[in-house]
A = this chain, B = another copy of it.
Amino acid sequence: MYGRNHTAQVVRFGQEFLLLDCGEGTQLQLRKYKVKYSKISHIFISHLHGDHYLGLIGLLSSYHLSKRIEPLQLFGPRGLDEILTTHFRWSNTSLSYPLHFTETSTSGKVLLLEHPLFRVSSFPLKHRIPTTGFLIEEKVGPRSLIKEKLQENPLPFPAMQSLREGKDYLDSDGNTFQVIDYCHPHPPLRSYAFCSDTAFIPEVSAYLDGVDLLYHESTFMEVDQLRAAEAYHSTAKQAGQIAKLSGSKKLLLGHFSTRYPDLSAMLTEAQSIFPNSCLSEEGITYPILPTHE
């Protein structure tokens, strides 16, 4: 969810909804685009500049007003908990649901969340105040069984369970059921990296090794590179360089300065370095496809 509104992205993974950053107006945008935001279970905040987190207090308040009971995990920089508790203290709000806060750190890659299907880590970016990016990596999940095979030859439950876990099964009569015969091949694992506000730092590519989709901020164009460096932001060309250096498969540009009403030159600039680049647009879904190599 981008464009000229403030930063916020929903990453959907099966039935899990993750929110990356939550700029002012995010809850209004979530309603506008009919995202089932009650399903968001984890929120990740990159840094404490207003355009990346000022929608959080309103979103958390709305969950409270709608009597949410499901727990919510929040990850963000030191200070975010103090900001939230200050707001809730003055509005006399005692949240209807458990809110668990985990402070992020800018010391290297840090594992934040281990889910059966994916893991989320943070890694340091370089901005005026402590800022992290986030990396979401798919884990090997259960395999899916080939329905036609099961109809031909029904299997006992323990066999199905073993095969779904990727293990061949040997029954008490000595018959072997092989994963390769009963399961669809596992799709390649997917990954997504989110690099919000950051100066150009080639070192960040070490954390992004071959991601399927890289979101990298591109506040300025190369003609304004001095301004970008002063403001701890990146240019479209620099975003392309990070995508190239890291072996990313696709690059999504965003966080565009309002000085560029037309973004086509921004895109061309990134594509001159990294052809598979695109502009992020408000309300658009970008599927993260497994890369077949």
Contact = CB atoms under 8 A, between A and B. Distances in A.
How many copies of this chain sit in the oligomeric assembly?
2
A192 B49 CA distance: 36
Contacts of A80: 90
Interface stretch (A12-20, A50-58, A158-166, A207-215): A50-58
Contacts of A110: none
A90 B27 CA distance: 23
A98 interface: no
A24 B55 contact: yes
A128 interface: yes
Interface stretch (A81-89, A135-143, A149-157): A81-89
A91 B45 CA distance: 13
A146 interface: no
Contacts of A172: none
Contacts of A87: 48, 50, 83
A92 B129 contact: yes
A28 interface: yes
Given A25-B25, A48-B87, A50-B87, 16 more contacts: A24-B25, A24-B27, A24-B54, A48-B91, A49-B91, A50-B57, A50-B91, A54-B54, A54-B57, A79-B89, A79-B90, A80-B90, A82-B90, A83-B86, A90-B129, A92-B128
